[in-house]
Amino acid sequence: MTTEKLPDGKMLIRVEDGENEPVVIVVEGDDVVIQGRQAEWAPNLAAQELALAEHFRQMEAHGLMIEQQGQAVEEAIQHEIAMAERAHAEDRANHHKRLLELEQMDFPAAISVPDPPEIFFPTEAYAMGGGKLEAAIESELRRDGYLGPGGSYEFKLSGKKLVINGKKESDVIFEKYRKIYERHTGLDLSKNSVIEIEK
């Protein structure tokens, strides 16, 4: 490679490798002129530089647009938060106002009266189950070993518990006799229902 300064101020650079046509580069200020075998590359390089500059310009514009969109989203979120806080404050104020109004009102003393239990005696059980309910219960009591001397027993089934011969039975036994009742009467055993049979 050789360099030479020309009288007009240009710089001449010659590159030779011995095999190919030498490359001559002329430099004047910011201008570069390539002569020789690489001269055909110059237009492509210039076009690529222009495309790259345009690409960077588009990227910069895109970045600015994203930043503006981010600011718009942030402003929308802040607006929604402010609206929600305002609505919450209004709800609390209205609730407080309603409480004060209620405190100033006179209410009569409330009396809670429980519903009376539905009591079914053997005669009613016969009517609902066609006489088969008591027989089915007694048969099951015999099978489970609850019948006393002479076949005596005390049976009380409610919507909450089962008592046989004065002893509260387990939930499993309760469910068994509840299903017998519902199968023979066609009625659900409500929490206030009571079936009593004594022999």
Reply yes or no on whether the pLDDT at 175 is more than 90.
Answer: yes
Q: Is the pLDDT of residue 114 over 50?
A: yes
CA–CA separation, 118 and 190 (whole Å) = 9
Question: What pLDDT does residue 188 have?
Answer: 84
pLDDT at 161: 93
pLDDT at 130 over 70: no
Mean pLDDT of 84-110: 81
Instruction: Indicate if the pLDDT at residue 123 is higher than 50.
Output: no
pTM for the whole thing? 0.38
Ranges of each domain in the chain: 2-39, 118-198
Spatial strand order of the sheet with 193-198 comes to 118-120, 193-198, 154-158, 162-164, 167-168
Predicted confidence at residue 167, as pLDDT, reads 94
> How would residue 109 be classed by pLDDT, with cut points 50, 70 and 90?
low
Mean pLDDT, the chain, whole residue set: 77
**80-83 contacts: CB < 8 A, separation 24 or more?**
none
Q: How far apart are CA 115 and CA 147, in angstroms?
A: 33
Q: Between these two residues, 16 and 53, which has the higher pLDDT value?
A: 53
- Model confidence at 108, pLDDT cuts 50, 70, 90, reads low
Q: How would residue 126 be classed by pLDDT, with cut points 50, 70 and 90? A: very low
Q: What is the pLDDT of residues 66-83, one digit of tens each?
A: 988 888 888 888 888 888
User: Could you tell me which residue, 33 or 119, shows the higher pLDDT?
Assistant: 33
Instruction: Calculate what percentage of the chain has a pLDDT beyond 90.
Output: 15
**Residues 6+ positions from 122 with CB-CB distance below 8 Å:** 134, 196, 197
Extract the tokens encoding 109.
């003393």
pLDDT given at position 12 = 65
